[in-house]
Amino acid sequence: MRLLMIHVDYFKCQLTQKGRSSLVESPEPRVTEVSEALVVLASAERADERDPARVAELAARQVQDIARKVKVRTIVVHSFAHLFAELAQPAVAVAVLDSTRANLVAQGYVVHRPPFGWFNILEIKAKGHPLSRVARVVSLD
């Protein structure tokens, strides 16, 4: 799984139309909007299909580490397959995203996950400090 984490003043995601994925979730909520949060753009990869639950646990640890350092309690876990080539099957990707969210909620975070399978308009006002943009690769190996 690959993660790009952005510490934001503001983030808004508004669904526009169904994407090309074979799995398209219900379009509710149509708008996800948060302030002072950590936005996690996440892509599940083919290798994650071996143990999706473990990948989600490892991803949640990475996210929690950065959230603690930037002192936020609100997190957005947003599917973002556009940057990565060897994608997991959509059902596995959703399972990993949901499990990552559940792991973070269990640690006391408020976590939003916009619906999977949609094109959307993104508005991001990112902060500008050394931890405001962090990339991580989560691997079973």
Q: Is the pLDDT of residue 85 over 80?
A: no
Helices 52-70 and 90-106, interaxial angle, to 10°?
A: 50
One DSSP character per residue, the chain reads -EEEEEEEEEEEEEEEEE-S-S------SSEEEEEEEEEEEEE-BGGGGG-HHHHHHHHHHHHHHHHHHHT--EEEEEE-GGG-SSBPPHHHHHHHHHHHHHHHHHTT-EEE-PPSSEEEEEEEEE--STTSEEEEE----
| pLDDT tens per residue, range 38-74 | 999 999 999 999 999 999 999 999 999 999 999 999 9
Contact status, residue 45 vs residue 140, Cβ threshold 8 Å: no
The domain locations on the chain are 2-131
| pLDDT tens per residue, range 91-100 | 999 999 999 9
| More confident: 86 or 70 | 70
| More confident: 138 or 81 | 138
Strand duo 110-112 + 74-79: pairing? parallel
Question: Where residue 82 falls among pLDDT bands split at 50, 70, 90?
Answer: confident
Q: What is the pLDDT of residue 81?
A: 85
Contact status, residue 123 vs residue 8, Cβ threshold 8 Å: no
Q: Is the pLDDT of residue 83 over 70?
A: no
| More confident: 141 or 27 | 27
| pLDDT tens per residue, range 4-14 | 999 999 999 99
Task: Tell me the average pLDDT across 85-111.
Answer: 96
Q: What residue type is assigned to position 141 of the chain?
A: D
Superfamily of domain 2-131: D-tyrosyl-tRNA(Tyr) deacylase (3.50.80.10)
